[in-house]
A and B are shown apart, each in its own frame.
Chain A
Amino acid sequence: MATIITSCNNDDDDFTNPEINSISLASNDSAVVSGYKQNMYIVRGKGFSGVQNIYFNDVDTYFNPTYVTDEVIFVTIDESTPYDYSPESIRIITNGGEAEYSFDVLQPSPTITSFTPNVGSAGVEVTIFGEVFNNLESVYFGDAEATIVSFSDTEIVVNAPDIVDPVQITVTTSAGSVVSEDFFGGLSYYIYDDALNSDWWSGGWGETNDFANTEHVNGGSYALKTQINGWSAFQVGNGGASIDASDYSVLQFDVYAESDGNILVSMNYDYSTNVQVMSLTAGQWYTLTFSLADFNVSDIQAFAIQEFSGSGNTLYIDNLGFL
């Protein structure tokens, strides 16, 4: 009994030859001549009752027998189906015969999951991870094309071009293009760009902070705004794993002051010895760069900006981090 396929109610001697007339995408029933793996298609024709096997490019493809009527089959192209194949076809075998129909299984668009490293100078070797990099055509860092060193279906190695500002990476294969979510370039370690690094805590004294300020922004959507009383300080600290200062050479940030005044930049709770004092003029962005060596720290614990005029100030800070 168990060998009788229940969806088949035909008399055993009344088989008809199957015939495929059209294929369409199941989600919108638009007629197609080609398709992608893991998408569901509607196959139309006749004589499908008693279907035994469905092949896309000779891959025996699972189908749900309840999605079969005499004239319609719903079937999903199996993940293992090759897309470079000859001849590209769908074949349906029923107990009454076999039908074949030309159908292209296409290469899926590429996707990027990550790349490493995410910062570096021209020529650095960058590995891009993702999927379906077959038939790779090009890799761009922003507008600059990178040199492809090697690639597989899931990994590309390139030499980075020379870039100034952080850029996204674009991978193009014969099946299309994809742009990375993350940026390459800029600072090697961000404390703040559009949000405080989640590893870091904030805790100064006599200040009020807004980490999602939009009044004055220097790149991205937000800058941080800190209103500091006289001699008080904005301070953030590392709450994560220890950061070795020797991995970086430079502390850098962009700052914009509402009033003229001095600030004292310090690290690791040392507010008096190894410190840097700067004068700021109101209404303009500065990019400040300090050699880490000047702070004389071995690991990076905290960073503070103290108002050093005594009159208080409102500062906007962006792109804070290390190079």
Chain B
Amino acid sequence: EDFLERPPEDSYSDDDFYYTDEQVESRITPLYFKPWWGMFNTPYWVMTEIASGDMFNYTHTSFVQFTVTSSNSNLEATWGSLYSVVAQSNEIINNLDSKVDAGVSQDVINSVKGEAYFLRAVAYFYLVRFWKEVPIIENAYDYIYAPQVHKNFEEDIYTFIESDLEMAISLLPEKTRGADFDNNARVSVGSAKAMLAKVYLTEEKYTEAKTLAGEVISSGEFKLLDNYADLFLTSNDNNQESIFSLQWCISTDYGSGNQSNIVNSAAGYGLSNIGDWNVFGPSQDILDIYPTGDEREIENMMIPGYTYENLYTSDGDQFTVPDDISAATSGSAIKKYVVGGQDEYDNWGMTSNNTYIMRYADLLLIYSEASMAGSGSTTDAIALSYFNQVRERAGLVDLPNLTNEILLQERRREFAFEGEYWFDLQRLLSESDLLTLLSNQNRGDMNYPQYYTASAEDLVYPIPANESASNPLLLEDAVAYDFTN
């Protein structure tokens, strides 16, 4: 009978693996980047920044023109990517306890499980904001022979996210973010609380959001990095401002790195090692949002003639933005996450430069926004001081009061091309104001100003066509999620 026993010879079996702390921890590290790549290599920008009018190109015109259809590949890539995170998190949450050997420390098990809950919550948070209603899946094995399910209510998804983050808070370790950046890579209780504050804010649970954000801020776990420009250097990955970032790495596995350096910037100037694709450029609309003296402008967009201290071409030349720079016919190019040709890179030109999912500046502004509690303005001194901390770092003066419009504008400047503006618009503006704003944006290139009318349906993405083809129930009305199973 041994002759007929053939376990894998080139990989581990999940049933015969969990013997040491190191082995258990090795199960969570890829979850910090690998399954996210499908979304973050390009589609994320398309679905957030092109849609919101921050970025422009001719490759994704349906997002520019509000004509996205269910068969658009970006939707499926993002959907599949987020559900990869869900599926892998589920494996850890459901199986780790039963498969782990007695010799593994309980702290390690708790932390890894807490991280899985955290990551699953973040994935659902994106899903619910992009699609509003999606199926909640806790264990794929329950559906192998009956995979067709309905979508679940938006409020149930939020309930599920809250409960996952609460689990994460109960399992994750406490941390202090110090100068040992490597130690900051994995999330902590503070990360989970901060994320939960953002979830509450999106749910308009302002009191809870404010309390939780305030708690994390006063804990002192996170701090603003002194210099905005330093935030996006690979050497500052996992600095004390990082609450949660994707841990890209240099690998021989395709799809492990940050692709920004190739898809952003501008083609033909040697800023990447394998060629610039020049996929994205800044929109015409975003080009003049920065006041004079705002240090963030030059770190987010390239302005002809400017010489970057930290940016080199692959030939080793310090980079001065050429006069004819024009990524996606914009007359400019994106700078954020462009790290140049001297950074380390993998075979496909991707770098290990981490992508922020949440950083401390966001948390400060969450507190400020929650303080307005939906009223549209506040003069709360703490809220203002947190808000002005972010402005001060950018080299701007303090503002005496805070309104929705001012906050929205400030967030757009701070998080330009980080994928926040699409969600900010939906959170901070009424639907009619949002549609008016989108319809009045210049969504053309530098030569042809163009305007497109957005409608309410354009604010929620359609379920990817291949998914609804394999499960037509997804096109039906959502149902309540059964939390008891």
Contacts and interface: CB of A to CB of B under 8 A. Distances in A.
A contacts B directly in the complex (CB < 8 Å)?
A: yes
Interface of A: 113, 198-201, 203, 237-242, 269, 299, 301-302
Given A199-B291, A201-B406, A239 B323 contact: no
A203 B292 CA distance: 20
A235 B289 CA distance: 21
A239 B405 CA distance: 13
Interface stretch (B79-87, B118-126, B394-402): B394-402
Given A201-B399, A269-B400, A301-B397, A241 B323 contact: no
B400 A198 contact: no
B457 to A, nearest CB: 32
A212 to B, nearest CB: 14
A240 B292 contact: yes
A239 B293 CA distance: 10
Most B-side CB within 10 Å, residue of A203, A237, A240: A240
Contacts of A203: 401, 403
A242 B397 contact: yes
A299 B397 CA distance: 10
Chain B, interface size: which category?
10 to 19
17 contacts: A113-B323, A199-B291, A199-B292, A200-B291, A201-B399, A203-B403, A239-B291, A240-B292, A240-B396, A241-B291, A241-B292, A241-B293, A241-B294, A241-B396, A242-B395, A242-B396, A269-B400
Contact of B294 (A201, A237, A240, A299): A240
Most A-side CB within 10 Å, residue of B292, B323, B397: B397
B309 interface: no
B288 interface: yes
Nearest to A199: B291
Given A201-B399, A203-B401, A269-B400, A240 B293 contact: yes
Given A198-B288, A199-B291, A239 B399 contact: yes
Contact of A240 (B291, B323, B401, B406): B291
Contacts of A113: 323
Interface in B395-424: 395-397, 399-401, 403, 406
A299 B293 CA distance: 14
Given A198-B289, A199-B293, A240-B397, 18 more contacts: A113-B323, A199-B292, A200-B291, A201-B399, A239-B291, A239-B396, A239-B406, A240-B291, A240-B292, A240-B396, A241-B292, A241-B293, A241-B294, A241-B395, A242-B396, A242-B397, A269-B400, A301-B397
Nearest to A129: B305
A232 B399 CA distance: 20
A309 to B, nearest CB: 26
Nearest to A200: B291
A237 B399 contact: yes
A301 B391 CA distance: 14
A238 B406 contact: no
Contacts of B293: 199, 240-242
Interface string B282-315: 0000001101111000000000000000000000
A241 B288 CA distance: 15
B394 to A, nearest CB: 9
Nearest to B397: A242
Contacts of A301: 397
Contacts of B288: 198
A201 B398 CA distance: 12
A240 B401 CA distance: 15
Contacts of B397: 238-242, 299, 301
A197 to B, nearest CB: 8
A267 B390 CA distance: 24
A115 B93 CA distance: 63
Contacts of B399: 201, 237, 239
A198 B293 CA distance: 12
A242 B292 CA distance: 9
A201 B291 CA distance: 10
A237 B402 CA distance: 13
A170 B292 CA distance: 27
Which 10 pairs between the two chains have the least Cβ-Cβ distance?
Answer: A241-B293, A240-B291, A199-B291, A242-B397, A240-B292, A241-B395, A240-B293, A199-B292, A239-B291, A238-B397
A241 B295 CA distance: 9
B7 to A, nearest CB: 52
A122 B293 CA distance: 28
Nearest to B293: A241
Contacts of A241: 291-294, 395-397
A198 B291 contact: yes
A203 B379 CA distance: 13
A269 B398 CA distance: 13
Contacts of B401: 203
Contacts of B395: 241-242
Most A-side CB within 10 Å, residue of B288, B400, B403: B400
A301 B288 CA distance: 21
B249 to A, nearest CB: 37
A187 to B, nearest CB: 15
Nearest to B291: A240
Contacts of B289: 198
A198 B291 CA distance: 6
A38 to B, nearest CB: 12
A111 B294 CA distance: 29
Nearest to A268: B400
Contacts of A240: 291-294, 396-397
Contacts of A199: 291-293
Contacts of A201: 399, 406
